[in-house]
Structure 1
Amino acid sequence: MAHHKSAKKRIRRNETRAAVNGARISRIRTFVKKVETALQAGDKDAALAAFKAAEPELARGAQLGVLHKNTVARKVSRLSARVKAL
């Protein structure tokens, strides 16, 4: 257990950040899952619309430090290729 005031504050801050980051990752996964669902259904228009909504969410995740920028670039590239292939 933390004994110093600053260590206790760091624990509180870490819990808050973990909750916020977890919510961001969950939101990103939801957007990506919408694209995946549209791809499974074979609906190109829905997949394209979902992809256009998901791309900025992924970029925001990289910008805020929740995901690595190369991870986001890879995911966007692969999703884009799959939408294009429909």
Structure 2
Amino acid sequence: MGLGIIASIIVGGLAGWIASMIMKADTGIFLNIILGIVGALLLNLVLSWFGIYAQRSWIPQLIVGAAGAIVLIWGYRKLS
């Protein structure tokens, strides 16, 4: 279980960093991790409503996490 949490943090951090590079946002490492993990959770939830599930591999999760983090950054910019 511990390795799964550590892997999620690493993948979430990478996903958030990729999203911050794409969106040209200076979010910092802690917020990158949060955005990547929350983005992955939210986008996985939305995709599951349509019967689409990211594989339990780090590459699809990285893609979903980055896409979710991009949506979160975009939404934050629209609200502020």
- Bin of the TM-score, shorter chain as denominator length: 0.3 to 0.5
TM-score, with normalisation over the residues of structure 1? 0.34
Q: Which structure is richer in relative contact order (CA contacts within 8 A, separation 6 or more)?
A: 2
Q: Which has the larger radius of gyration?
A: 1
Pick the structure with more helix per residue.
1
TM-score, with normalisation over the residues of structure 2? 0.36
